[in-house]
Structure 1
Amino acid sequence: MPRILVLLALLCTTVTGTALAAPAQRFPSAHGAVEVVRIAQGLEHPWSLAFLPDGRLLVSERPGRLRLIGRDGTVSAPLAGVPAVSARGQGGLLDIALAPDFAQSQRLYFCYAEARARDNGTTLAHARLTDGGLTDLRVIFRQQPSWPGQHHFGCRIVFAASDTLYLTLGDRNSAREHVQSLDTHIGKIVRLRADGSVPADNPYVGIPGVRPEIWSVGHRNVQGAALHPQSGRLWAHEHGPRGGDEVNVVRAGYNYGWPVITYGEEYFGGKIGEGTHKSGMEQPVHYWVPSIAPSGMAFYTAERFPAWRGNLFVGSLKFGLLVRLTLDGERVVGEERLLEGLGQRIRDVRQGPDGYLYLLTDASDGAVLRVGLVPR
């Protein structure tokens, strides 16, 4: 059997074997019962999950730790070599993503809140992942300017074609006046090459006074992003204020409106900006009022559960559930709320190589959950 198939088989065996030893919960859905199995627990505010080709799982914890989860669900000691992070408020060690050539390079990309003198900011780095920890660490991007505060770091990493990646950057909560300015990274999505350099076809390359890394403008705090499996376009959702969480199809050079237009309002009440529409600013393909506080998201593409194929899954921190969105091209035509009553803040959502969905719960005793439909 080819090596890659052996590794995938090990991963499926790993997760399934652990799942059988753990108690399961079941929840109703339009396509039958949804079963939730706890794979591992004892994680402190886990933020992101990656599937290693040898069958283990890699998880980031917001306080600044990386841990490996074995085939039996055991959680390793913290890996060495993780840089210091600013683990205050929403900051810390956040997203992780394996390089597309991970099997050869062993490169792990990770995003974190970095302390910088009296301020902090979103930073992207990569390093070589070994059993002992991280080595050969290289910082390849820093959000500018740095800013005091503990909120809205963005920090989702999405690899795309041609050795490029997208990185989401928040408005830092108190810096919204800089979101529409093209001379800052505040409230933007940037596009980089895997080495941190700027692709020549980025929309603002060569324009004086403009940050060439910028891909799109007008974002508040994007914490969920994924490539559409057919079009290859970047989809992202972002937190609104009080109401107005959005799902957007993100295109080069487009403006998504924050804080000029929004379906939300100030936390203390009151209008933000100019309303919900303005010429030259994009409308979301879907939005939520009241807010669900969206977290990770994933397109479902596997064969295991045909009823879910082509659907977009979004976690909810506020309501502790999983949202299933039905799509028709770039239109959202249906929404179903799954796992109501689970009672856990959902932080990350990933499709596993075995065709199940995997969730992280945001808690001081956080867990990895496996989610799938029960055969009828």
Structure 2
Amino acid sequence: MLCNVAAGAGNDLRTELVAQGFQNPWGLAFIGGGRMLVTERPGRLRVVQPDGRIGPPVEGLPRIEATGQGGLLDVVTDRDFARNRTVYFCYSEPAQSGASGNSTALASARLSDDASRLEGVKVLFSQRPKVVSRAHFGCRIVDADANTLFLTLGDRYSRKDDAQTLDNHLGKIVRLLKKDGSAPADNPLVKKPGALPEIWSYGHRNLQGATLGPDGRLWTIEHGPQGGDELNHPEAGKNYGWPVITYGENYGGGAIGAGITQQAGLEQPVHYWVPSIAPSGMAFVSSDRYGKDWQGNLLVGSLKFGYVARLQLANGQVQEEDKLLPDLKQRVRDVRQGPDGFIYLLTDSSKGQLLRLLP
């Protein structure tokens, strides 16, 4: 069913409704045969059939604390999924009985042959420390290579200064071994005294988009406060500045910290947005479905304005930005390129939709 038509950058775009009726969907993954996995933030994992039918909740998820911005968040399949049927998912994990707080956790599991349940669930990683907070979980997963994963971790809002210290996982990106969640021996801070070995980069706020670029390296987007959303190309061991430098300001106005945007030793974003677009979900276009001009472009969902930003890059820098689907007016939570070469969108609402972008 066609539900929206809009022009963007010389292309007439249509969104085709694939499925609807999700409760605050967050993450999307492809499991073959035209089927997809969709997470719902309240703590459910669904299988979507090729005809758009949404299955009952997949069984076997661990205990999830669905509060505020937390819940069941991202999901990805292993690059060798056809053989091992392994999925990775991240979620807000409650503290153990008798303790308070929560944090982002990452788990792996085998999706059963009939896709009805998760088998052999293993918690690979739990963000430390647990914090009493309902916000800034981060929680995007990137299958980096045959052995490792990246996971983005928010600063938990009330602990923003911890993004600058290396004895915690708040406001960090971590790189982990798939087999057990431990730190790879070549992680950048493994030998640094006092640093947690899982850390890849730090000084982040709330990263809700992450993917590998055409160059095979990690790209991320993160929410700024009031203004200052960022596109970054996080490199090993580097400091991306939050909350020392930012292009945003406090909610309601006023400088954050010293109110500076640059400082020696702190990385500048590749691109930033003022005002904020509240970016969440990102995908590079590699298929030829949308013409050669789109190949290598980066698509970013906007929660605040309900459109998709198309970023044209050259030499690692944004050259032009277009607003696609400006009349969509739905919170775009995730953006993925499917194995069929089409772009898929998840819209975040109590009646969320899965959409296919057609040229």
Equivalent of 1:201, from 186, 206, 218?
186
- State the distance in 1 between where 2:2 and 2:236 align: 46
| Partner Cα separation in structure 2 for residue 127 and residue 202 of structure 1 | 24
User: Is it true that 1:48 corresponds to 2:27 in the alignment?
Assistant: yes
Partner residue, 1:222: 207
Q: 2:88 aligns with which of 109, 129, 137?
A: 109
Which whole-Å CA distance do the structure 2 matches of 1:317 and 1:58 have between them? 21
**Deviation at 1:235?**
0.6
Q: Which residue of 1 aligns with 2:270?
A: 285
CA–CA separation in structure 1 for the residues paired with 2:174 and 2:244: 20
Separation in 1 of the partners of 2:9 and 2:80? 38
| Residues in 2 aligned to 1:138 and 1:250: alpha-carbon distance in whole angstroms | 27
User: 1:207 deviation in Å?
Assistant: 2.1
| Separation in 2, partners of 1:280, 1:290 | 26
- 2:2–2:14: 8 Å Cα contact kept in structure 1? no
Distance in 2 of aligned mates of 1:281 and 1:208: 20
CA distance in 2: counterparts of 1:149 and 1:285, whole angstroms: 29
Give deviations 1:186-230, integer Å, cap 9, x for gaps.
Answer: 10000011121211111111222110000001000000011111x
> Within the alignment, does 1:257 sit opposite 2:241 as a pair?
yes
Which moves more between the two structures, 182-191 or 123-132?
123-132
Identity of aligned residues (%): 56
**Alignment correspondent of 1:169:** 153
- Which runs of structure 1 show a deviation greater than 6 angstroms over 4 or more consecutive aligned residues? none
Deviation at 1:161, TM superposition (A): 2.4
Q: Give the alignment partner of residue 111 of structure 2, picking from 129, 133, 148.
A: 129
Question: TM-score scaled to structure 2, two decimals?
Answer: 0.96
Matched, 1:23 2:2: yes
Q: Name stretches of at least 5 consecutive residues in structure 2 with no aligned partner.
A: none
Residues in 1 aligned to 2:244 and 2:111: alpha-carbon distance in whole angstroms: 42
Provide, for residues 292-335 of structure 1, a one-character-per-residue CA deviation record: whole Å limited to 9, x for no partner: 00000000000222221110000000000000000002100000
1:372 aligns to 2:351 (yes or no): no
Residue 242 of structure 1 is aligned with which of 216, 226, 234?
A: 226
2:341 paired residue number:
355
Determine if contact 1:123/1:142 at 8 Å carries over to the other structure: yes
Q: Which has the higher helix share?
A: 1
Once the two structures are superposed, the pairs formed by residues 140-159 of structure 1 within 5 Å of their partners are 140-159=124-143
Residue number in structure 2 paired with 1:213 = 198
Q: Deviations over 1:35-77 (max 9, x none)?
A: 1111000100000011112321110000000011112111001
Q: Secondary structure at the match of 2:83?
A: helix
Whole-Å separation in 2 of the counterparts to 1:218 and 1:151: 17
Cα distance between partner residues in 2 of 1:291 and 1:24: 26
Amino acid paired to 2:167: D
Q: 2:65 aligns with which of 72, 75, 86?
A: 86
**Given that residues 33 and 50 in structure 2 are in contact (C-alpha distance below 8 angstroms), is that contact kept between their aligned partners in structure 1?**
no
Tell whether the 8 Å contact from 1:262 to 1:273 is kept in structure 2 after alignment: no
Contact kept, 8 Å, 2:79 with 2:146, in 1: the verdict is no
Q: Which residue number in structure 1 is paired with residue 123 of structure 2? A: 139
Find the residue that maps to 1:172 and give its secondary structure. coil
- TM-score, scaled relative to structure 1: 0.92
